[in-house]
Every structure is written in structure tokens, then in C-alpha cells.
Amino acid sequence: MRREASINVLLSTWPMTFHLCRTAPQRDMVPLLFFSVLVAQAWSVRPQQLPVPKNIFILAGQSNMAGRGGVVNDTITGVATWDGIIPPQCQPNPSVLRLSANLTWVLAHEPLHADIDFNKTNGVGPGMAFANAVLAKDPTFGAIGLVPCAIGGTKISEWGRGTFLYNQLVQRARASLQDGGGNTIQALLWYQGESDTISKEDAESYKGKLERFFMDLRDDLQSPMLPIIQVALASGGGPFVKIVREEQMGIDLLNLRTVDAKGLALEPDGLHLTTPSQVRLGQMLADTFRQFLPSGPIVSLTYSGSSARCSTFIVDFFIAPLLRCINRIILLN
């Protein structure tokens, strides 16, 4: 878009410039040519006025993370439509960007997943409410970059290492770190599991698959301490919601918090959160994320390629969870 705008400006001014080159004195040509260049330059840098997002958040899971707030299915045609209502808490913010499907930063706006979960009708999700709530609590936090990755109707088995969804998530997460330098993935926001409530076998094996997914993702992003905030189900597509919720609540990984969506209002389909519920969920996620904010320095290991180096990293956790994590690693190996 930036290049096309520059070309259009140059082409639109060139006939006039060329005509004056033949008729006006040379001293009159120079200001006109200079003005044309300035106009083209102004058009070309406009998109670059967006801030470079330093604080990256990955949004992953299925439909309630992608956002179905305000989406209603026509009972006659079966066609899903979004009402287009965007509450104040989800309005665009110049300090909140999103990574588009073509891996470029753009101003974030609802629906955040429109070009990611493109086979479904998207509405309001928790992402914008989350980002705006974080900035409202701390205006000095810095620009936020949201990385939408959620796909509606997916099971946890579809997010395992090596699958399309997993590879796409890792690719997008890595791409979010490329611009500007100093970018940091602050957390993974995860809301998934409704599709795993249909089969009892899927429900009872959910915990192990989700733990493996989290550990693999931390490994592939070279971020062993990556904060994760998961959402415990408010609903499900089958009869085993209780089992999946128990599996979610039973996960005990280092630097993981759980936000419980149970009790939040649902759309008429009984499955998806309403727009007000998505706003509330976003605020709950923001409050939970604040628990990860600095409370004191500790020494931890960070990884670069195959080598590990020791550095000071500020993170909020306790010795007991650390020991449990070490014990888990020993058992897995």
C-alpha cells in the first residue's frame, strides 16, 4: 500500500512537472520537483508512524479466543452475521497493533481474527479489551502487539507439535519478534477445549496433551519461562465439560495462571461468549497478567540456539513451583 501510494502521487504530479519543465524557467522547476518528492515521501512514511510493538501477546485456541461476541446465526438461513457493535473497551488504540495474516503490523481493531480464522464469522473477542485494560492500568507499559492465532472448532490434538496450527503459531510468534529489536513475547493467552468435550476419551486425555503443547511451545520459542494464561471453559460442544475443566484446573506448570470463564453470559447458541462477556474476560486476563509483572530479580537461564547463558530476568514465581517443574522434566526424560 505504501509503495502504491508513492507511485500514484509521483504519476499524478509528473505530467504537470513535465509540462512546466518545457515552459517555465529552471529556477521555477526546482521547487515544484522538490514539492512532488515531499508529497510522495509523506505518503510513503505514513504507515511507519505506527509504533513498534515491544510487548507481544499471542492469542491462541479456538472460537471463543478468536471472538464470536455479537455473532448470531440466522435461524432460517443458518448464515452467521456479526452485529458490528464494538464497545468502548474494544475500540482501536494507537498503541495496540496486530500481526496480520501476511506478517505485517497494522492498527488493531475488531474482529482481530478476521484474516486468521477466515472460514468463520468473527466478532468481538477478549484481545482488544485485554490490551486496552493493560494500557489503562499502566500507560507507560509501551506499545502492544497482538498475534492472533486462534481457529474455531479445533481440538487440542490439532495443536500438537508438527501440526499446521502449531507450525503457524510458531511462525507468527517468531515473525512478531523481527521488527525493531527488543520485542518480547510477554505471554500466551490460551482459550480452547470446547471441542474436546464431545468425546470422553478426548476429555480425559486433555491435560496431558495441553501440558505437552505448552512445554513444546516454550521450547520452540526458546522461552522456558514464557508466561501462560489459560481460560477454563465456560461452555462446551459436548457432555464432558466438567471433565475438561478438571483437566484444565489440574495443570500445574511453572508460570501458568488460569482464568475461569464459568458463569460468563453466552450467546443464544449456548457455546460462545457474548460481547460484554468477552470484555469482562479481557479485563480478567489483564488483571491476571499483572501478576507476572516484576516483583524482584532472580537469576534464570535463557537460551540462544543450542547454548544457554545465565542472565538476570525479572519474573514472579516461587521455589516450590520451580522444584515441581524440575521434577517434571526429570520424569519426562
Known catalytic residues? 63, 269, 272
Q: Which amino acid is at 196?
A: D
* Spatial contact of 80 and 267, defined as CB atoms under 8 Å apart: no
- Please, what is the Cα angle at 174 between 295 and 211, to 5 degrees? 65
Q: Give the 3-state secondary structure of residue 188.
A: strand
CB burial string 219-252: b at 16+ within 10 A, e below: eebebbbbbbbbbbbbbbbbebbebbbebbeebe
d(CA 189, CA 261): 13
Inter-residue contact 300 to 313 (CB < 8 Å): yes
Strands 55-61 and 184-191: parallel
| Cα gap 106→176, rounded to integer Å | 12
DSSP H helices in 24-140: 26-45, 63-66, 127-137
The span from the CA of 53 to the CA of 32, in Å, is: 37
Amino acid at 219: D
Nearest to 86 by CA among 111, 54, 50: 111
**In angstroms, what CA-CA distances link 36 with 1, 17, 44, 45, 279?**
19, 9, 12, 15, 46
